[in-house]
Amino acid sequence: MIPYSCQSINQDDIDAVTTVLKSTHLTQGKEVELFEEDICTYINCKHAVVFNSATSALLGAYAVCGIGEGDEVITSPISFVATSNMLTALGAKPVWCDVKLDGNIDERFIKRLITPKTKAIVPVHFGGNPVNIHAINKIAKEYNLLVIEDGAHAFGSSIDGKKIGTFSDMSIFSFHAIKPITTGEGGCVVTDNAEFAKRLKLFRSHGIVKKKLYGFDMVMLGHNFRMTDFAAALGRSQLRRIESFINKREHIALYYDERFKGNRLFSTITIPKNVRSSRHLYPIVLIPQLQCPKQEIFEHLVNSGIGVQVHYKPIYQNSYYKEKFGDTHLHVSDDFYLSELSIPCHQKMSIDDAKFVADTLLQIVQKFSHRGCAF
């Protein structure tokens, strides 16, 4: 099975982890700080605070800028549930904004969702393809809103040579096993705001300030969302190879682009020229007639050894949110869910693998094109 995404671990990664495992500090040692410094250098930002997941990083980012009970936050429904869940966990209300055909939030619809309760905008860089952050920042400035980017897919993505993580109040990244680089589980918040960074560190570790010799003072409510030192060591080692990872995924993606050009059964997402995508996902969008047999297409692909996935069921379609807020319908998001398939694109694939995926996919969708939907 060729998975849709997959980590790449080499001997350097293993050595980095085992060195820490043989040392005195498995956690709360030096590696976490060094990883944070490496992230700042790579992104070109002032502060990075790593967490044990991007979910806890999201909760931290939302919490330290004061998002809470009664606040509304405009965000994308085409995301992993964590983006909205952590807002809900703080008593805030996710207000879902429809997306564009590339799966990114449609900035044209943001303004009409703003109310006196709106506190922030949380866009998601779908698949690693950056959102229109300049337009979003402009709206945020006009209405005095915070912008927190869910960059779980977008570590290493950039716009005009500037990395995601340098454009807004805070950005979060995920280091889950199948994300652009990995620490097993892990995440991070980057920001240029020193006050946010300070509060994020407190939030991550019980809100405790240590005293010089012994004792401590707990100055705010916090959690234990710390990353271990062996995970941070893995992250540092992975970060050294990020350019080769992205180049490899880009190579696969460009091969697919070429193979799928002009086919009439599905479209692909065009990455703008001034943008570099981490290429975390390679989504294809089936034509409406193929929405009905999508489950069967999915099944045929998996049975052929191609590990496809669907990103995402709109968050509002989950029973928890339906019960909480009633039914939500956003046209493009609903449609995107019916049409989207993510096909394998990762740093461990060869062009032969990509050729096999492309050949098999074209063959299977062709087979179902004669059936389509009985409208």
Ligand X SMILES: *Cc1c(COP(=O)(O)O)cnc(C)c1O
Q: Where are the alpha helices (DSSP H) in the chain?
A: 11-21, 31-43, 54-64, 82-89, 133-143, 194-204, 229-239, 242-260, 294-303, 319-325, 331-339, 351-369
β-sheet bridge partners, residue 217: 209
Beta carbon of residue 365, minimum distance to ligand X (angstroms, whole number):
26
> Binding of ligand X at residue 53 (CB under 6 A)?
yes
The number of beta carbons lying within 10 Å of the beta carbon of residue 46 is: 13
- Choose, by CB under 6 A, the member of 82, 87, 197, 315 that binds ligand X: 82
In the complex with ligand X, the residue whose CB is nearer, 5 or 268, is 5
In the complex with ligand X, the residue whose CB is nearer, 318 or 360, is 318
Question: Contact, 203 vs 66, CB < 8 A?
Answer: no
The one-letter amino acid code at 197 reads A
> Binding of ligand X at residue 73 (CB under 6 A)?
no
> Binding of ligand X at residue 7 (CB under 6 A)?
no
Alpha-carbon gap, residue 192 to 347, rounded angstroms = 31
- Choose, by CB under 6 A, the member of 60, 165, 187, 235 that binds ligand X: 187
What is the footprint of ligand X within residues 200-259 (CB under 6 A)? none
Angle at 7 between CA 299 and CA 147, to 5 degrees: 95
In the complex with ligand X, the residue whose CB is nearer, 174 or 347, is 174
The one-letter amino acid code at 359 reads D
> Binding of ligand X at residue 176 (CB under 6 A)?
yes
- Choose, by CB under 6 A, the member of 174, 191, 268, 309 that binds ligand X: 174
> Binding of ligand X at residue 5 (CB under 6 A)?
no
Angle at 127 between CA 122 and CA 132, to 5 degrees: 50
# chain residues binding ligand X, by CB under 6 A: 14
Beta carbon of residue 347, minimum distance to ligand X (angstroms, whole number):
17
- Which residues are at the interface with ligand X (CB under 6 A)? 53-55, 79-80, 82-83, 124, 150, 152-153, 174, 176, 187
